[in-house]
Amino acid sequence: MAAMLRRLAVTVAMAALAVWCALRWGLPLGFAVWSGLVAALCGFGALLLSRQPVGVATASGQLGAAILRWGYKVGRGQLPGIVVVSWLIWVALGAAVMAVTLFRAEQLTPWMIAAWTMDGLALIYLIGVMTTRSGRTRIALLTPLLAVLGMIGLSGALWRAGTESARETALLIGGAPIPLLAAGYGLMMAAMMLGGRKGGWK
């Protein structure tokens, strides 16, 4: 429970920092400042984790883990990889918060930003999984990777067209597939668990 509250507090603080960067400097300069601040915070988190004794959970180490919460598998437990992946994800999430803050008055723009953020995170996830796999598994992951890239590219081209119908189509292409796949996967897992319980997991 304490770990969840700590992560929530860090997330709220990071979101507030991103909003402040957006309102203070606008999107281009604010994004640069945000990226630098996140790099500093990730470095601070790495310092806290490195000072935590092995096998002992300290308050400072838990704070570092709340900042550096991604990349442990990709980085194979090494801090440089963890820092890079966590930095990338925080930068992407912060950029989305900044863009939503600045374009919140527009009807479709916040939703499109949320869709692209979701696609970007899916892309980072797939690339991360590919780095930890080899052979046929890595080749098989090229299909969803190219699909996500295609979704981003096509939705971006339609969004640039500027018409309302084109932007609605862009939102559908960029935002619908991944939630639908996630919902389908969730239903499949729920059905497997339900079937396993009824069958006594035999």
pLDDT in tens, 75-114: 677 888 899 999 999 999 999 999 999 998 888 899 899 8
- Among residues 84, 96, 86, the alpha carbon closest in space to that of 120 is found at 96
Paired tokens of 191: 């059905």
Please indicate whether residue 186 or residue 200 has the higher confidence score (pLDDT): 186
Q: Is residue 1 over pLDDT 90?
A: no
pLDDT band at 20; cut points 50, 70, 90: very high
Q: Is residue 199 over pLDDT 60?
A: no
Distance CA 170, CA 110 (A): 13
Rounded mean pLDDT of the chain? Answer: 87
The pTM for the full model equals: 0.79
71 and 86 Cβ atoms separated by less than 8 Å: yes
